[in-house]
Structure 1
């Protein structure tokens, strides 16, 4: 696995450099007013149509079957497990952001939930009032001064931007648990798919209203993503936040 790390991580760095080269530094005033930079809209809409098809005929029915068969407590436990596996990578990103305290919190959550939470299925760290941690390499790039760049919709992953798309690639390699020498070792990838199945099934009505009941589902999904992401990074005011899924992250 270490040899793979040495071979692949430089490639990830090159991808990051190539993608972030086009990420213009955002104008705070433009971000505050919700400006959208989408020069590749035609291509993005094609990807959006593809993603809707995958959701309609594969992911949506699979997720509904999953939450119908699996009890809610187990759905939450599997989500906890996926989040716990991401903690080492989040600790790495926290260090890259210069936030040593948050890195320590992420590692503390990982240790407590792994040992006392049966491998991360439970979340005793929250019961012990250990703060939640939710960061990624996209936020790291933001801290480093990289702008969000153009809006992009990614196949299977959905709404993003040039900076966060880069982060998605790099996060796969910065998490010590992120990949192995054979597919069977990529536990966190499989856990993340299960977590997303749970979210899709649990919040099916709301997501359906965006994807299938909106006059323009592409524009709606783009608006929700951009405003939420900018709010998370402190680039817009709280009043502009949109959270259509009303996720209760306390149980994750």
Structure 2
């Protein structure tokens, strides 16, 4: 697994320190969620309740409520007699997540084309345009968040709260995976970066068109292609990260250093 670069934890602390003292569990939830999905808090790292309480200037109750809420979203694990930790992201975790995401995204996008209302498709269009603007300025963090907004708007078009909530949980998990693989520095060249972003923009536009035309088959096909595009990018990045950790001894045997 690629490790988060040094300094990320400090960035997370700054985000946490911005929360006004005397806040509530919602403040704690937002601060912790932002730090987790931005990878400022590394996958698998311990979440010490006393440290969080001190940084937020809150009592233990709202912090505990926030941790329970994050556990329900799959971002935190609550361990008996051991406290809490950020949910890990091992190879199997990522594989299983992406498989589930593929299925959920196809269903949500298909149903959106069947069930959407006119007012809902207008929201999807606005979010699509917002993502384009961020992409044009290469605002990586904003692109990830706006991509979430775009697909969340599509989820609302499926008009099934249970299905939409399940999909949004997976979509939130994707924020962590995307930050491992989708940053500009993770690409081999500027051309590779621009080509990938271009594919995303094209598929976003085509999804909007398919949903607006009420074409469920085309919408699902595009959702599958979109999930495959993301999965391919994640796989390439993880393989590159693993290769960079390999050392070759004089006997010709490759040793992987984790």
Normalising by structure 2, report the TM-score.
Answer: 0.32
Q: Which has the higher contact order (CA 8 A, sep 6+)?
A: 1
More helix by percentage: 2
Larger Rg: 2
